[in-house]
Amino acid sequence: MADPTIQTFCCHHTGSKEDMAVRIMDEFNTDSYNIVCLVSSSIGILGAIYQIFPDILSITRPRKNLSQGRRIIIWLAIADLLASSGVLVRSSLWLKYKNIMPMPGDDVSVLFCSIISAWIQYFYTATWFWTLFYAIDTWNTIKRRDSHTILYHSFAWGLPVATTSIGLSILYIPNAMCHNLPSVTSALYKILPNYFASYVPIAIVMIANPIIYMFSSKNVETAISLPLAQFTSKERRVVDALRLKFFFINIVFYICWLPNLLNGILLWTMWFSVPINAVVVIWYIMALLNPMQALLNALVYRRWNLSKWRYSQRNSKMFRRDVMYYDEQSPLLGSEPPRHHMSSAPPSINNYATL
């Protein structure tokens, strides 16, 4: 999982019972925690592989040119795959050597722990930005605007470099000492920046994506109904299905990452009397849900079965003829002012078929 609290365990410590991290470890069953991480990360890896290679389970499916939305989903899955792989490796080694926290004076374990934590943090941060850019690209597709592939890649891979390196550099440099800090001010300067670097991107996606999808839902209704100047039950089913998809995309992100935000809020609002049992429970929830993002994404980002819409596409000429007929014969419709020429609806909206 990607959590700043776990990343502080990579620091050197004295073993003193006054250290909050040491006290938490006394209440923490590390074996069961690592087993949960192993299982969830393995499932996450399978979910990511399914998204990257969907034809593995349906070999007979003909290959098609990938849409921009499909490419974003693949890059999101690649980032998920690499992050889950990091969780798998870290948990396997922790389970084998029985030491989540390095022993006093163990520089090698501190170095390994900080490197693997940076790896996991970087790729999970990349998934958050790809999730945001998928929503933005969906909006652009509905508005018939061009996608910005190079810009997406620049931000999705570049911003995590900045947030991860800044947060972990402040935490670990120069001597990886982040326990038993002399004052609250020292903790604020040493530890808090990494929390901001981790949780601000999550909060941005949680706020921005529902807003983007809300406006997208409103605009997709117009995009689908305008070409035929009508909005029948068929168009309504498409719009409702799209709204349901947008809803599930948001719900999956909230389910996977809201526990992380709650953990940070709990720790920093109850700094002097941390409820250790509640924190440990949240860690187990994060260990289960963070890597499961890849599997849940495989469900909500999956391609639609377009067969039922092909029938509608084959009958679209009949719809147009009916509209022309009623424009010519119906006194009510014929009395309307002439309609302006409308551009056709996009054939699909990031893997979601329209009429």
Tell me the C-alpha distance between 155 and 131, whole Å.
12
Q: What is the pLDDT of residue 180?
A: 66
Q: Which residues pair with 309 in a beta bridge?
A: none
Token pair for residue 181? 């800090």
56 DSSP assignment: G
CA dihedral of 83, 247, 66, 161, whole degrees rounded to 10: -30
Q: What is the pLDDT of residue 351?
A: 59
65 DSSP assignment: P
Q: What is the pLDDT of residue 21?
A: 62
- The answer to whether 23 and 17 are in contact (CB under 8 A) is yes
Q: What is the pLDDT of residue 334?
A: 33
Domain with 303, as residue range(s), is 4-353
Using CA atoms, how far residue 189 sits from 22, 125, 153, 172, 200, in Å, is 21, 22, 31, 12, 17
The pairing of beta strand 348-349 with beta strand 352-353: antiparallel
Contacts of 244 (CB under 8 A, 6+ apart): none
Q: Which residues of the chain have pLDDT under 50?
A: 59-60, 304-343, 353-355
Q: What is the pLDDT of residue 113?
A: 85
Q: What is the pLDDT of residue 319?
A: 37
Q: What is the pLDDT of residue 210?
A: 96
CA dihedral of 168, 156, 250, 282, whole degrees rounded to 10: -20
Backbone torsions φ then ψ of 189, nearest 5 degrees: -75, -35
- The answer to whether 90 and 120 are in contact (CB under 8 A) is yes
DSSP 338-350: PPPP-PPPPSEET
Q: What is the pLDDT of residues 181-199, one digit of tens each?
A: 666 677 778 888 899 999 9
Place of tokens 């349901």: 244
Q: What is the pLDDT of residue 338?
A: 40
Token pair for residue 240? 């409702």
Q: What is the pLDDT of residue 353?
A: 47
Of 119, 150, 116, the closest CA to residue 133 belongs to 150
Token pair for residue 212? 């983007």
Angular region, 105: left φ>0, alpha ψ -120 to 50, beta rest? left
Looking at residue 35, which CATH number applies to its domain?
Answer: 1.20.1070.10
Token pair for residue 252? 């999956």
Tell me the C-alpha distance between 141 and 161, whole Å.
28
Q: How many domains does the chain have?
A: 1
